[in-house]
Amino acid sequence: MAQKYKDEFLKWDLKTLSNGIRTKEISPLEVTRHLLKRIEAVNPKLNAFITVLYEEALESASQAETEIVTGNWRGPLHGIPIGLKDLICTTNIKTTMGSQIYKDFVPDYDAAVVENMKRAGAVIIGKLNTHQFAYGPTGDRSYFGAVKNPHDLTKMSGGSSSGSGAAVSAGLCYAALGTDTGGSIRIPSACCGIVGMKPTFGRVSKYGVYPLSYTLDHVGPMTRTVFDNAVLLNVLAGHDERDPYSVRKEEEDFTRVIWKGIKGSVIGVPSSFFFENLEPEVESKIRKALEVFEGLGAEIRMVDLPDMQKISLVQQITIRSESYAVHRETLLIYSELYDIEVRERLLLGEDIKAYEYVQSQQIKHFAQREFLKILENVDVLVTPTLPILPPDINQREVYIKGNCEHVRDALLRLTSPSNFTGFPSISIPCGFSEAGLPIGMQIIGRPFDEANLYRFAYAFEQEVSIPTLKYDVN
């Protein structure tokens, strides 16, 4: 079956592969075998995987093939090889959190999202590298080593879902799951040139996912195309009583309006903050993207945002307080086993006062109300995902128009507000720099309006057709 396609099916998107598997034109077992060989050849260059599940993946693919041949097709993920960020628990499979402390930790249960994937018939092909404990946007602080960017091996893949971004971009899996606390799905998606969705807070269960910040963490899909992303979110979303933050919503199809186009819609463009202090190539691509939206029939309208500097500050208070609460006991016992940068960031939460945390939560409600007011008059907001191009691995300062900024602050600056409000936000590719580095565009929407975000993202993707696969990794 797969022989007539040689290795071309490794370059397909999830939708195309799923159609081939459903119609029995291609075998999920052969696909998985070929993909495992590709991982063996390419992963040493990228360091995207911590654990590759050779036997388990082949067994799952064989089972999927048997079921599909006998007419038991479970849906569009059936037989599709997918990777998991390695802080998502998997039964009898190491889950390391990118840390020395948990390098041999083997859970005895699956995270909720893994349960959902297995029910859908997906083939879990491996566990993907992550910035240690997911506390960093650079992706170069893992006990297992830095993840490299498929577009330029000297550049960051972005973090903390570093391995997920690199693996999807390089064609080592057809999709991956990441987590996002300050931008950790969208940052690597932008750096690696793929599609990454941070859903509305509470939309996807966090049960079985190692926490960083209780009120900021999100789990979401990272894919080659917008449609694939919506299909994956269909499987991930749903209420789960084991997650106290999980929200009960009616089941929906996130592809339901994806083809409707955006003619007559209104796109809000922030007049400040999101377009301040950008690298010129980033700003140029975003401006051109807005012209594409106009050409598709959307009105571009400038909007005024609330005090974003204050919102950014209290978001930092929140993540520092909650991450320290998560790690306090472990820090007392295993302090020397933490990466020095991660440990330093965690210890910043030790001196935050209770009243400061409480005030930050009050400001959160203010920020949510203010953003909702803005989104009453526009369909979505469009911004850059990142103000900069992917930096060098281990680079810690960047100059933007003569202004020096810490790389970590720059990477988080435009994504973290959506974690604080909990509003959905998707990053999609919108072009490349002259040096061939990906540039991402962020689309932000109302709570639980992911289907609408996919509509705008899909309209842009179909119009410009920017490649998301970096198959030749050198």
Give me the chain's average pLDDT, please: 97
Q: Is the residue at 128 inside a domain?
A: yes
Task: Please say whether the beta carbons of 166 and 192 come within 8 A.
Answer: yes
Report the distance separating Cα 283 and Cα 286, nearest Å.
5
| Catalytic residue (one of 142, 164, 184, 205) | 184
Ordered per-residue pLDDT tens for the chain, 474 residues: 445 566 899 999 999 999 999 999 999 999 999 999 999 999 999 999 999 999 999 999 999 999 999 999 999 999 999 999 999 999 999 999 999 999 999 999 999 999 999 999 999 999 999 999 999 999 999 999 999 999 999 999 999 999 999 999 999 999 999 999 999 999 999 999 999 999 999 999 999 999 999 999 999 999 999 999 999 999 999 999 999 999 999 999 999 999 999 999 999 999 999 999 999 999 999 999 999 999 999 999 999 999 999 999 999 999 999 999 999 999 999 999 999 999 999 999 999 999 999 999 999 999 999 999 999 999 999 999 999 999 999 999 999 999 999 999 999 999 999 999 999 999 999 999 999 999 999 999 999 999 999 999 999 999 999 999 999 998
Residue 160 annotated in active site: yes
In Å, how far are 151, 171, 438 from 435, measured between CA atoms? 10, 21, 9
Q: Is the residue at 16 inside a domain?
A: yes
Residue type present at position 175:
A
> What backbone phi and psi angles, to 5 degrees, belong to 126?
170, 175
Q: Which domain holds residue 200?
A: 2-236
Report the distance separating Cα 163 and Cα 222, nearest Å.
11
Angle between helices 226-236 and 14-22 in degrees, nearest 10: 70
Q: Is the residue at 347 inside a domain?
A: no
Split into its structural domains, the chain has a count of 1
Q: Is the residue at 269 inside a domain?
A: no
Question: CA geometry: angle at 120 spanning 114 and 121, to 5°?
Answer: 90
Task: Please say whether the beta carbons of 149 and 390 come within 8 A.
Answer: yes
Residue in the structure block whose two tokens are 């005895």: 108
Six-digit token pair at 171?
């064609």
Q: Is the residue at 85 inside a domain?
A: yes
Residue 85 annotated in active site: yes
Q: Is the residue at 372 inside a domain?
A: no
Report the distance separating Cα 178 and Cα 164, nearest Å.
6
* Residue 58 neighbours by CB distance under 10 Å: 16
Contact residues for 446 (Cβ-Cβ < 8 A; gap 6+): 372, 375, 423, 424, 452
CATH of residue 125: 3.90.1300.10
Report the distance separating Cα 332 and Cα 319, nearest Å.
19
In Å, how far are 314, 323, 350, 351 from 355, measured between CA atoms? 12, 17, 14, 12
| Catalytic residue (one of 85, 155, 285, 470) | 85
Contact residues for 55 (Cβ-Cβ < 8 A; gap 6+): none
- Single pTM value for the model: 0.97
Q: Is the residue at 33 inside a domain?
A: yes
- Pairing relation of β-strands 175-180 and 81-85? parallel
Residue type present at position 424:
P
> What backbone phi and psi angles, to 5 degrees, belong to 224?
-85, -25
- Report pLDDT digits (tens) over 302-346: 999 999 999 999 999 999 999 999 999 999 999 999 999 999 999
Residue 418 annotated in active site: no
Q: How many residues does the chain have?
A: 474
* Residue 397 neighbours by CB distance under 10 Å: 12
Q: Is the residue at 120 inside a domain?
A: yes
The 3-state secondary structure of the chain reads CHHHHCCHHHHCCHHHHHHHHHCCCCCHHHHHHHHHHHHHHHHHHHCCEEEECHHHHHHHHHHHHHHHHCCCCCCCCCCCEEEEECCECECCECCCCCCCCCCCCCCCCCCHHHHHHHHCCCEEEEEECCCHHHCCCCCCCCCCCCCEECCEEEEECCCCCHHHHHHHHCCCCCEEEEEECCCCCHHHHHHHCCEEEECCCCCECCCCECCCCCCCCEEEEEECCHHHHHHHHHHHECCCCCCCCCCCCCCCCCCCCCCCCCCCCEEEEECCCCCCCCCHHHHHHHHHHHHHHHHCCCEEEEECCCCHHHHHHHHHHHHHHHHHHHHHHHHHHHHHHCCHHHHHHHHHHHHCCHHHHHHHHHHHHHHHHHHHHHHCCCCEEEEECCCCCCCECCCCEEEECCEEEEHHHHHHCCCHHHHHHCCCEEEEEEEECCCCCEEEEEEECCCCCHHHHHHHHHHHHHHHCCCCCCCCCC
| Catalytic residue (one of 60, 99, 142, 160) | 160
- Report pLDDT digits (tens) over 252-308: 999 999 999 999 999 999 999 999 999 999 999 999 999 999 999 999 999 999 999
